[in-house]
Chains A and B, each alone.
Chain A
Amino acid sequence: MELTGAQILLESLKQEGVQHIFGFPGGAVIDIYDELPKSSIQHFLVRHEQGAVHAADGYARSTGKVGVCLVTSGPGATNTVTGIATAYMDSIPIVVFTGQVPTALIGNDAFQEVDIVGITRPCTKHNYLIKDVRELAHSIKEAFYIASTGRPGPVLVDLPKDVMQARTEFEYPKTISLRSYNPNYIPNRKQVKKAANLLAKAERPLIYSGGGVISSEAGEILTRLARRFSLPVTSTMMGLGAFPGNDPLWLGMLGMHGTYAANMAVNNADVLLSVGARFDDRVTGKVNTFAPRAKIIHIDIDPTSIRKNVNVHIPIVSDCLNALKTLDEEMGEIESVQWEEKHGDWVKTVKGWCREQPLKYETGQSGKIKPQYVLEKVYELTRGEAIITTEVGQNQMWAAQFYKYHKPRTWLSSGGLGTMGYGFPAAIGAQVANPDKLVIDIAGDGSIQMNIQEMATAVCYNLPVKIIILNNSYLGMVRQWQELFYNKNYCATCLDTAPDFVKLAEAYGAEGHQVDKSEDVVPVLKKVFASPKTCIVDIRVEPEENVYPMVPAGASLTEMLLV
């Protein structure tokens, strides 16, 4: 049967198993919106296209499925760029459909025309401009395939209006093969054997895991491997949740705001097993003093990650899941080693560091609420069962440090790009995908204002997302740098003009609470977590609280500023 481009798009989405999309209409995509009510796909109308992309991203991070959004041409398309770049930096599978002016007008500076394929070329895994309706189904299949395989990432498909109106015979391709794209999922056995032997000789081994472990669903095997062979574990911020945060072998996050134990362990390890992490500068600090005593094994599905920032001894290009499974087998075959005994002293040393310098904060004097305390209580009250999203800044770091993540896909945060305004729309996406879960956005008073308009979206669809604002009346993380490295020159970081967040919540038809005293934190959180409504909790915290430990930018990991 002949279908229009718009019908083909929706039919293809159905074939891909898409149930929910996030979007915002306009002239260039009105044909698609005209068909939408006839489709089984549920559309969530956001209030800004950036929100649509972050929502699709939160949907993807919390489920592992591909997140999808649909926007119009021109400004609709350019509004997606920050969201796309956010997903790109964190390797999140999303497909973004943008409207485009009719093919005959492309290049003419037509109304609401932008070269979005050109604009997003460096921040998508791949992108398409569809010039012929006969290519449409095939390109959509490719888009989903590319977004979700290998190292995942965002793919953009630009849809000219006339292509949406044109008709052709519809057949959705069952399979796809691309001669120029064949991600390698299977590790080289020899390399894995070498890695196993190296780990068997190690006296002070350490696992450094990253977001790749989450995206390849390798959390379980990572946990098994670490416990079976007594390997302490640290992870990047992106990797939180892959290894249970309450396990005795867990050292906490490493890097700029990593724990003392994790950074000391990296500094002293003799073998570093890096899995699905990419040696980002926020993780390594001064790169030539990173893991100075260690031989490095690096597992990553993306060959470009290997030897990009540090030299490695055993590179393994593979999906993390398969690599860890194989490594588990190979290590299991080494019978001569009593792993637990062999690593006993090292584990003791590492645990010693955990006890010596745990994550902590000063309590008392001012009577103001400590943001870290709020996170501890959120963790206790949810027993680590919630999905936590974050904004960016101090709020994000405290959420990474003081909440313990037990399971993969319960921590959604913009790592690589550090996008303020990510957390709330991402929470909306996560809540759509996980209607029965408690979804909490840990927010800053600055960041939350970057996508606050999505309150309308959350309320409209009865999404009971909880926004907890750690309100310090500052762009706190920038203020912290100004305090520590710029003589307290608090230029442009004071946010003393702010909306009344309680009234703002109410204005949107949501629930709002303000908390000024520590003793009110728990009762209000309890009430809010039990509420069926979208809620904002404005918690007035110590304004000049800092995030510690902190490794100043460009310093070595051992040069930590502690509380």
Chain B
Amino acid sequence: MRHVLSVLVENEPGVLSRVAGLFSGRGFNIDTLNVGPTLEKGVSLMTISTHGDEQIIEQIIKQLRKLITVIKVVDLSDTRAVEREMVLIKVHASENSRAEILRIVDIFRCKVVDVSTDELTLEVTGDQGKINAIVNMLQRFGIKEFARTGTVAMKRSMQL
């Protein structure tokens, strides 16, 4: 099953390779990985999406907690969580297709962030499903460039 882990780490040199090395050394999977600073100085947040059976996920979480530079690990799959990814897509847009692409932009509530005579660059945010859906829709126009973040996620305030 897919799990999204929120991993709070000391922001020091090598912390990323400690985490990445743990996954590769033990044969765990990383599907996406996102790292960024937090509001607290010296602390970064990693969001890792991974998959495996329950025993593997339990090991991943315990092994992460065992790293000296890891402060906290939360499995967001145990809770209701908001999940987002962002992607920048540069799509071929001819005079004929431009209008249709803009309609899709509208439907998916994404943004055009750059325009030229034959290209549109779109910014899309959403969960994995939405992003996969728009990619599917745009493929036939010709996607020229594609840059996707990993998942970032957060527990919802209301836990039902």
| Pair A180/B68 contact, Cβ less than 8 Å | yes
Q: Which A residues are CB-close (under 8 A) to B68?
A: 125-126, 146, 178, 180-181
- Asked whether A180 lies within 8 Å of B70 as measured between CB atoms, the reply is yes
Please name all residues of chain A whose beta carbon is closer than 8 Å to the beta carbon of B71 when the two chains form the complex: 179-180
In the complex, which residues of chain B have a beta carbon less than 8 angstroms from the beta carbon of A180?
10, 67-72
Q: Is the interface on chain B under 10, 10 to 19, 20 to 34, or 35 or more residues?
A: 20 to 34
Chain A 68-117 interface residues, beta-carbon cutoff 8 Å to B = 117
In the assembled complex, which residues on chain B have CB atoms less than 8 Å from the CB atom of A117? 14
Interface size classification for chain A: 10 to 19
A303 and B62 within 8 A (CB): yes
Interface membership of chain B positions 63-81, coded 1 if the CB is closer than 8 angstroms to chain A and 0 otherwise:
1011111111000000000
Which of chain B's residues has its CB closest to A311's CB? Answer: B55
Comparing B17-25, B31-39, B96-104, B113-121, the segment that makes contact with chain A is B17-25
Could you tell me the distance between the alpha carbons of A122 and B67 in the complex, rounded to whole angstroms? 11
Q: Which residues of B contact A181 (CB under 8 A)?
A: 68
Question: Is there a chain A Cβ closer than 8 Å to B58's Cβ?
Answer: yes
Are A129 and B13 closer than 8 Å at their CB atoms?
Answer: yes
B contacts with A: majority SS: helix
Q: How many Å from the CB of A366 to the closest CB on chain B? A: 47
Which residues on B sit within 8 Å (CB–CB) of A125?
Answer: 68
Closest A residue, CB atoms, query B22: A122
A303 to B70, CA, bound (A): 15
Q: Does B59 contact A (CB under 8 A)?
A: yes
> What is the distance, in angstroms, from B154's C-beta to the closest C-beta of chain A?
21
Chain A residue nearest to B58 (CB atoms) is A307
Q: Is A122 touching B66 in the complex (CB atoms < 8 A)?
A: no
Beta-carbon contact of A121 and B69 below 8 Å:
no
Is the beta-carbon distance between A121 and B66 smaller than 8 angstroms? no
Contacts of B55 in A (CB 8 A): 307
Interface string of A169-189 (1 = CB under 8 A from B): 000000000111100000000
Q: A180-B70, A181-B68, A302-B66 are in contact. Are A121 and B10 (CB under 8 A)?
A: no
Please report which residues of chain A, range 285-320, place their CB below 8 angstroms from some CB of chain B when the two chains form the complex.
302-304, 307-308
CB distance from A453 to the nearest CB of B (A): 32
When distances are taken between beta carbons in the complex, the residues of chain B under 8 Å from A179 are: 71
Q: How far is the CA of A122 from the CA of B25 in the complex (A)?
A: 8
Contacts of A126 in B (CB 8 A): 68
CA–CA, A227 and B37, complex, Å: 56
Within 8 Å CB of A304, what residues of B?
59, 62-63, 66
Residues of chain A lying within 8 A (CB to CB) of residue B62: 303-304
Contacts of B59 in A (CB 8 A): 304, 307-308
Q: Is A118 an interface residue (CB 8 A)?
A: yes
A121 in contact with B17 given A180-B70, A304-B59 (CB within 8 Å): yes
CB-nearest residue of chain B relative to A123? Answer: B25
Looking at A117, A180, A181, A303, the one whose CB has the most chain B CB atoms below 10 A away is A180
In contact, B14 and A303 (Cβ under 8 angstroms)? no
Most buried by B among A122, A126, A178: A122
Closest chain B residue, CB of each to CB of A124: B68
Contacts of A178 in B (CB 8 A): 68
Cα-based distance from A72 to B89 in the complex (angstroms): 51
Question: How far, in angstroms, from A154 to B14 measured CA to CA in the complex?
Answer: 18
Q: How far is the CA of A180 from the CA of B43 in the complex (A)?
A: 11
Given contacts A180-B10, A304-B62, A308-B59, contact A121 B70 (CB under 8 A): no
Q: Are B65 and A303 in contact, with the CB atoms below 8 A?
A: yes
A121–B58 CB distance below 8 A:
no
**Nearest CB of A to B15, in Å:** 11
Residues of A within 8 A of B63 (CB): 304
- Residues of A contacting B70 in the complex (Cβ-Cβ under 8 angstroms): 180
Q: What's the nearest-Cβ distance from chain B to residue A470, in Å?
A: 35
B19 nearest CB across to chain A (Å): 11
Q: From A122, which residue of chain B is reached at the shortest CB distance? A: B25
Closest chain-A Cβ to B112's Cβ sits at a distance in Å of: 42
Which residues of the other chain, A, contact B10 by a CB distance below 8 angstroms? 180
Q: How far is the CB of B24 from chain A (nearest CB, A)?
A: 9
Distance of A90 Cα from B131 Cα, bound (Å)? 47
Determine the chain A residues whose CB is within 8 A of the CB of B18 once the complex forms: 121
- Among A174-231, those with CB < 8 Å from B are 178-181
**Cβ of B113 to closest chain A Cβ, rounded Å:** 36
Contact call B21/A122, Cβ cutoff below 8 A: yes
Measured in the bound complex, the distance between the Cα atoms of B66 and A303 in whole Å is 8
Shortest distance between the CB of B8 and any CB in chain A (Å)? 9
21 contacts between A and B (CB under 8 A): A117-B14, A121-B14, A121-B18, A122-B21, A126-B68, A129-B13, A146-B68, A178-B68, A179-B71, A180-B67, A180-B68, A180-B69, A180-B72, A302-B66, A303-B62, A303-B65, A303-B66, A304-B66, A307-B55, A307-B58, A307-B59
Q: A178-B68, A179-B71, A180-B10 are in contact. List 19 more A-B contacts (CB 8 A).
A: A117-B14, A122-B21, A129-B13, A129-B14, A146-B68, A180-B67, A180-B68, A180-B69, A180-B71, A180-B72, A302-B66, A303-B62, A303-B65, A304-B59, A304-B62, A304-B66, A307-B58, A307-B59, A308-B59
Residues of B within 8 A of A (CB): 10, 13-14, 17-18, 21, 25, 55, 58-59, 62-63, 65-72
